[in-house]
């Protein structure tokens, strides 16, 4: 798999955090991570590029119009989740995607800083 950092997603996440669209949740990402049904409902109303903005990893060997192109989700299509960023960071570290791990960590710090000042 040829994954690299989805810079458009990082920029999008930074803007969401700046706008206060975040959840500083302490739960388990599995409780908040959109399931296939939620993903498909989102795609019924949005372009695949918008779907991709919610994923820190990009696999350009996959077709541009496929969900399989996108990895490391961090939000629920409305807000950035603290536990989503932690999960992305940990999985990226385990799999050796250091650019994605670093971006997730930076976004996590930005989210926690914003949450502390809200």
Q: How confident is the model at residue 1 (pLDDT cuts 50, 70, 90)?
A: low
Q: Please give the Cα distance from 53 to 69 (Å, whole number).
A: 12
- For residue 117, what pLDDT is reported? 86
Q: How confident is the model at residue 118 (pLDDT cuts 50, 70, 90)?
A: confident
Please provide the size of the chain in residues.
118
Phi then psi for residue 4, to 5 deg, are: -145, 175
pTM of the model: 0.94
pLDDT at 44 over 70: yes
Q: Three-class SS string for 46-84?
A: CCHHHHHCCEEEEECCCCCCCHHHEEEECECCCCEEHHH
Distance of CA 60 to the CA centre of its chain: 17
pLDDT at 42 over 70: yes
pLDDT digits (tens, 9 = 90+) for 30-41: 888 999 999 999
């Amino acid at each position: 798999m040829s994954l690299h950092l989805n810079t458009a997603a990082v920029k999008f996440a930074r803007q969401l955090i700046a706008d206060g669209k975040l959840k500083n949740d302490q739960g388990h990402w599995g409780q908040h991570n959109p399931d296939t049904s939620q993903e498909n409902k989102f795609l019924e109303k949005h372009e695949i590029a918008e779907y991709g903005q919610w994923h820190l990893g990009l696999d350009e060997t996959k077709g541009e119009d496929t969900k399989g192109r996108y990895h490391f989700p961090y939000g629920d299509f409305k807000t950035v989740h603290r536990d989503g960023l932690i999960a992305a960071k940990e999985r990226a570290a385990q799999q050796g995607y250091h650019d994605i791990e670093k971006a997730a960590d930076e976004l996590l710090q930005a989210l926690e800083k914003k949450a502390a000042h809200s």
